[in-house]
Structure 1
């Protein structure tokens, strides 16, 4: 498992009856990889993992693994559930489905102290031989893995190899490096701090708007990693209004709407989420319209409709 580069947190496309559209999912995955993405992260928050049934999750992983095989790129399964037992079971089935790694989340609903949280994530990490990435998102999950706690966990769990840091505090990148050195790879998990996080030492990006703009996302990451600040910030300035859609409560609806508007996906979401309407929709239209009018020369390939593929 090479913890590096731009790995989309893939959205989950749904048919009108809200069943999973596996044909579109495979087509989208292949297109993201063709545009330079380094792997796929499935079943996360953006993938609406909390509204997917267990069997649906396994089927999605199998579809993604099949789509990735030709490219030899990894599929990472996000692992979260209401209970530790369920999370461990999902981790084991993800390994059997052919995933290359796991992204380990806190449990849904329950916010615990460090003793309980350490016990939970360690159980998931140790459930398989797969390399794991710890997902820290205190804004969404109300559980904050501090740098010293991450280092403690890494010392006890050899297959913990990376951290997805989504606190939106870029100082956390250096804090983790300070206590863990090169022991852990660090991914940024918030779209609109990508360049700053790479400057601080992050070497990966679990990205959101990449679902509609993969080539632009890969280019931005590569420019930042190469230290080409002038070029990176020129592209970043164009991209930022879109990237900020990844940082608000309705990020799933916004990103899937952008996909539909750019003919790269489907806007449908599962309840309790509802599609955008009113002022929120008008604001999103204004942002996207302005971005498309000034789209940079580096652009993703055309996402061909399934009947044309």
Structure 2
């Protein structure tokens, strides 16, 4: 049986928190409802933007359980897998399968940087944990582990590996993947301010980050690109670009949570060791956000 064909916008949502760093599931609900209402095709919780690595095991499972309840079958809920050991990864996946998750977005091992042989072993081992569909998150910029197009040729024998979140920031990879693997995988872009360039090259989906703060415009941009309405897409993309670029900084979690706060869709509170941005950096980011929102399309 072939895995589901994941396509469209799958936003990677933040995990809302109280100022004391405890989970704020009620705020998560309000935000997720706005995102789902915009017309997205799926919901990704506990990804990098969702502060997966800073949450306790029971907190991750609580967020997944709550997201499934909120989505109530309207969109598939998938969860990021960001663990330091194969045992922790497989245990988490099996627990989430029991909770009713639709699939996974699997990251490379956290902390330890694997060589190519270890990288393949990691993904193949986690793939055996459940029969659910999964997306491989390739982000050598952030995690220093690169899954090359040639490695995806080798991984193609994993039947339920359906999609790639390509976040190398090298748009050449999209064409290289197509040339080497054809339509074997659904290819998602994971770099917001390379969305339109990636769409022109031919992608199946978008794991959106900053767009969770302006979900209607974000979905409209996807729809325009899919319809080939390039002049309109360019205009909207140029407006969104300063906000999208907030997703490419080491403080991207703080920036996007602050952006959500400015659009009324959340609060800026983060889990330590992250701290809310302050001083000149905060002033500069707020300037970018507020100038863009003043010019927000009607």
Q: Report the counterpart of residue 124 of structure 2 in structure 1.
A: 122
Aligned to 1:253: 254
Partner residue in 1 for 2:98: 96
3-state SS of the aligned residue for 2:211?
A: helix
- Measured against aligned partners, the alpha-carbon deviations of 1:154-190 in whole angstroms (never above 9, x if no partner) come to 22x1000000000111111111111111110000001
Which residue number in structure 2 is paired with residue 13 of structure 1?
16
> Match for residue 306 of structure 1?
none
Displacement of 1:12 in angstroms is 0.5
Equivalent residues in 2 for 1:1-309, closer than 5 Å = 1-71=4-74, 73-155=75-157, 157-297=158-298
Q: Note the C-alpha offset of 1:16.
A: 2.4
For 1:2 and 1:213, the matched residues in 2 are separated by: 26
Contact 2:163 2:188 in 1 (8 A): yes
* CA offset digits 1:1-39 (Å, max 9, x no partner): 341111111100112221111111122111110111111
Distance 2:9 2:229 in 1: 17
Unaligned ranges ≥5, structure 1: 298-309
**Contact 1:82-1:109 within 8 A present in 2 as well:** yes
2:10 is paired with a residue whose SS is: strand
TM-score in terms of structure 2 length? 0.97
Q: Aligned with 1:169: secondary structure?
A: coil
Normalising by structure 1, report the TM-score: 0.94
Q: Please name the residue that 1:302 is paired with.
A: none
Give the 4+ runs in structure 1 shifted more than 6 A.
Answer: none
User: Are the counterparts in 2 of residues 162 and 185 from structure 1 also a CA contact under 8 Å?
Assistant: yes
Give the match's secondary structure for 1:8: coil
Query: Alpha-carbon deviations, 1:130-174, whole Å to 9, x = none?
Result: 01100000011000000010121122x100000000011111111
Aligned-CA RMSD value: 1.0
Once the two structures are superposed, residues 246-302 of structure 1 have per-residue CA deviations (whole angstroms, 9 ceiling, x without a partner) of 0010000000001112211010011111101111111111111211111112xxxxx
